[in-house]
Structure 1
Amino acid sequence: MATTDISAAVPYREVADRNGRIYRIGQSDRQIMGRPRWTMVLFPWIGMMGISSSEYAFTSAEDTLHTAHMWSSGHIFWLMGVWIFFQAAVAFPAGQLRESGKLPARYAMMLGALGTILGYLSLAYAPHVIVAYIGFGMFSGIGAGLVYATCVNMVGKWYPERKGGKTGLVNGGFAYGSVPFVFLFSTYMDLSNYQGVLVFVGVICCAMVAISGWFFKDPPKFWWPEGADPLKVSDDPRIRRALEKNPPAVKQYTPKEAARVPVLWMMWFCLLCTAGINIFGIAMQVPFGKEMGFAGGIVATAMSLKAIVNGTGRGVIGWISDKYGRRYTLIFVCIVLGMSQFGVLASGSIGNMPLFLVCSMISGFGGGAIFPLFAAMTADYFGENNNASNYGMVYSSKLISGLVGAGVGGVVVDNWGYNTAFVIAGGVGLFSACLAVFLKAPGRPDIRKIQANPNPIGREDA
């Protein structure tokens, strides 16, 4: 253990653990930003709710957009796929700009708010589908990516000692914030008012992102919260258990260093598979339910329940992962996600509405839980200082999963039907669980492989 004392004029000091990782201790959250750090859970949570409707409620507007603009169903699914592509594509460059200081968190959120309103205006008034691809698919997707990357990584920096539950709560806003808009688009919006409704939603969501983003502030690099000594066992049982199950990274990996570690790309591929299943469910559940004969209100309810459970599941699973470990929790979630696809297919095929709702909620739980797990796991494995960039690399797999889940998923349904599509999705989920078994933190020895010293030092040798 090494300690570096800073001048008394500066109310903090830096300490290093046995791995050489530096921690900045001695400063409270109020000293840094003048308010408690729980506000940096609240404001990112509100910001995430502001972008949620663009992904989770979009397919609920499918029928109206199709009739109003004469866009084919294929365009609707590909619009969503393009939005997800750009939302994921911006994660890594946004992280680089954020960590270099060239893009402060507040400015990132303002750009995100601008992209949100442009997306809804293009859906309302696009004279051609190409305008919708540019306005909603590209601008709104980029804006949402800036907001997502900023919010998720912000909360991890302010809660490095137990980031799972807090990251999950903020991440959950990305799902259940869409619930009012699912019902609005499904039951109220029609050809007579769709433009006004879309503009209204765009203004509300833009305001949520902009107002919450105004209060964003990053902690100093290496910051560790007051009262949670990184070099001692904490007296707080919550902190002690979280750090035992998910110990901090052995060092702060730069993006170049992280990119050379195989486990990062295993995480990338595992997220590709699981996110693809989640997006497939979001895109296909509404049309599948309607084709199975369920009423539009029932389908909207199923989608809303899916979004609610998707969002609340993110917070709950983060808390669970703090208690039982990120990797084991991820294995469980992948199994749940895969099996639920078979349940949605079976319940829809036999026309069992209650079972359809239950399986839809379970699918939503699994699909939502993966994102905070990977966000927290990336910080656990590679450190918080460069987490925006490192998680951006992992999250970039959504570039492909969005196009596969929404676009290619639609192609599979058109050519081979829902049975084949849902069976493939379920199989991929179970495969992801097998892959998650091999995710281990880099640089940390496996306790099971550590052997006792055959010649320990005794009293007579000391």
Structure 2
Amino acid sequence: MSTSEMSKPDGQTDGYREVKDVNGRVYRVGETDRQIMGRSRRWMVFLPWFAMMAISSSEYAFSSAEETLSSAHGWHGAHIFWLLGVWIFFQAAVAFPVGQARERGTLPARNAMMLGALGTILGYVALAYAPNVFFAYLGFGFFGGTGAGIVYATCVNMVGKWYPERKGGKTGFVNGGFAYGSVPFIFLFKNYMDVGNLGGILIGVGFFLALVVAVSGFFFKDPPKNWWPPHVDPLRASADDPKIRRALIKNPPAVKQYTPREAIRTPVLPLMWFCLLCTAGINIFGIAFQVPFGDEAGFAGGIVALAMSLKAIINGTGRGVIGWISDRYGRRQTLIIVCIVLGLSQYAVFFSGNMGNMPLFLLASMVSGFGGGAIFPLFAAMTADFFGENNNASNYGMVYSSKLVSGLVGSGLGAVVVGAWGYGGAFILAGSIGIFTAGLAMLLRQPGRDLRSTSKESLALSA
């Protein structure tokens, strides 16, 4: 262990010092959040949360507009599902390059959010006025998906940087906005939008959401590299804050700040990539096909919209709850349980719909939403736990890039499976993949940490 006093950097109001733990990881302590940006770091929870709610409707409310879009533009039904798949593809595709640009300083957080706002409005304009389906793919799929991906990557990693000591609950809270923020638009698109008012509603919604993203992003600011809050000893958590102490024992900080090149060389990151591919594919499959399955099962349109809304609400609120749970009981243990719940809920959605049991269908939708939403903050926080915060935008971008495949599999290929095997075969396959992924999650371990260092740090944290 060593400490070294450092000179005051430009733009800071106070000096700082760097300390090293038993693994050689460096922590920058001494500067408060108010000294760095002139306000509490809570702003870097609520502002990203607003922005995440703004971009969520493009994914979670899109299937509610399926019938109206098909009628208004004459697009074949399969195009609707592939449009969502392409949107998700580009939303995930930009995570890694945006992360690298952010960490190199070539894309400040504020600029990234302005680009995201531009992509948001272009996506809605394309849905409203695209002269043919190609421009819908270009405007909504490419520009809309890219804009949402820039916002998502910036927001999720921002909160993790400002709360390195207890990131699970905060990351989950911000990530939750990417689901329940869509609820008003699910009802709007399903029950109030028709061919006559489609253009006006989509343009109005697009401008409003783009404004929310731009205003929120205007106040974004990153902390310095290796920053650690001064009220928490990074070498020994304060005994008078049991929540922080427990979180650090269950989810100890990464042994060092891994670069993307170093992270990809560990067996852990590719395994995380594959686990997220499977679970995100199940989640996207449910988003894309729960509404048409509910319609086919004979449920009224209002019930189907309610089921989808409950799914989105629980999907979002579950992300915050699961982050808090993972702080208490450990990220890996929590992920295993979530994968099992996600898998079993797919069986429940199908069998309840097949029986025409509305209460059970609504309950199964909520449980499915909880499992589908919980996976994202778990993987986001786990990436920082395993590989550090400094390069987390790039490292999580690599993990999150699995959504490139899962979006197309869950939505586009999901339509092929439904056509070949029916909803029963598709939902049973999705559930089985969830159970399989729970077994894979048991293999996840923090790289570079041996039993000796873990024992030393646990003793220090418990003292």
Please give the range of the TM-score, normalised by the shorter of the 2 chains.
Answer: over 0.9
* Corresponding residue number in structure 2 for 1:276: 281
Pairing 1:229-308 to 2, within 5 Å after superposition: 229-235=233-239, 236-308=241-313
Which of 59, 64, 70 matches 2:63? 59
The SS at the match of 1:223 is coil
- The residue type equivalent to 1:230 in the other structure is P
Query: Structure 2: 5+ residue runs without aligned partners?
Result: 456-463
Aligned to 2:120: 116
Matched, 1:327 2:332: yes
Shift of 1:106: 0.4
Q: What letter matches 1:5 in structure 2?
A: E
1:243-263 deviation line (CA, Å, top 9, x unaligned):
000000000000000010010
Q: For 2:432, which of 412, 427, 431 is the aligned residue?
A: 427
> 1:233: Cα distance to partner?
2.8
1:193 and 2:197 aligned = yes
Paired-residue identity, %: 73
Counterpart CA distance in 1 for 2:175 and 2:357 is: 31
d(CA) in 2 for partners of 1:195, 1:214: 29
Instruction: Give the residue type in structure 1 aligned to 2:89.
Output: F
- In 1, distance between residues paired with 2:433 and 2:261? 30
CA-atom RMSD in angstroms: 1.3
Aligned twin of 2:38: 34
Distance across 2 between alignment mates of 1:48 and 1:108 = 14
Size of the alignment, in residue pairs?
A: 451
Residue in 1 that maps onto 2:375: 370
Note if contact 2:22-2:453 (Cα within 8 Å) is conserved in structure 1: no
Q: Tell whether the 8 Å contact from 2:95 to 2:401 is kept in structure 1 after alignment.
A: yes
- Equivalent position to 1:88, from 88, 92, 101: 92
Displacement after TM superposition at 1:41 (Å): 0.1
Q: What is residue 101 of structure 1 aligned with on the other side?
A: 105
CA distances 1:390-417 after superposition (whole Å, capped 9, x unpaired) = 0000000000000000000011111210
CA contact (8 A) 2:23 2:453 kept: no
TM alignment of 1:305-454, pairs within 5 A: 305-446=310-451
TM-score (norm 1): 0.96
Residue-by-residue CA offset, 1:112-155 (whole Å, 9 max, x unaligned): 00000000000000000000000000000000000000000000
- In the alignment, the residues of structure 2 paired with residue 126 and residue 400 of structure 1 have an alpha-carbon distance, to the nearest angstrom, of 26
What is the CA–CA distance in structure 2 between the aligned matches of 1:305 and 1:63, rounded to whole Å? Answer: 20
Within 1, Cα distance between the matches of 2:8 and 2:406? 51
Q: Match of 1:384, as an amino acid?
A: E
**2:460 matched to which residue of 1?**
none
Q: 1:202 pairs with 193, 203, 206, which one?
A: 206
SS at match of 2:255: coil
Gaps in structure 1 of 5+ consecutive residues: 451-462
Does the CA-based 8 Å contact 2:291-2:304 persist in structure 1?
A: yes
Which position in structure 1 is the counterpart of 2:459? none
Relative to structure 1, is the Cα distance of residues 8 and 353 closer, same or farther in structure 2, using a 3 angstrom cutoff? closer
Q: What CA distance in whole angstroms lies between the structure 2 residues aligned with 1:161 and 1:185?
A: 40
**Distance in 2 (alpha carbons) for counterparts of 1:51 and 1:144:** 6
Instruction: Give the superposition deviation at 1:30.
Output: 0.2
TM-score, normalised via structure 2 length:
0.96
The secondary structure found in structure 2 opposite 1:440 is coil
User: Could you tell me which amino acid in structure 2 is paired with residue 383 of structure 1?
Assistant: G
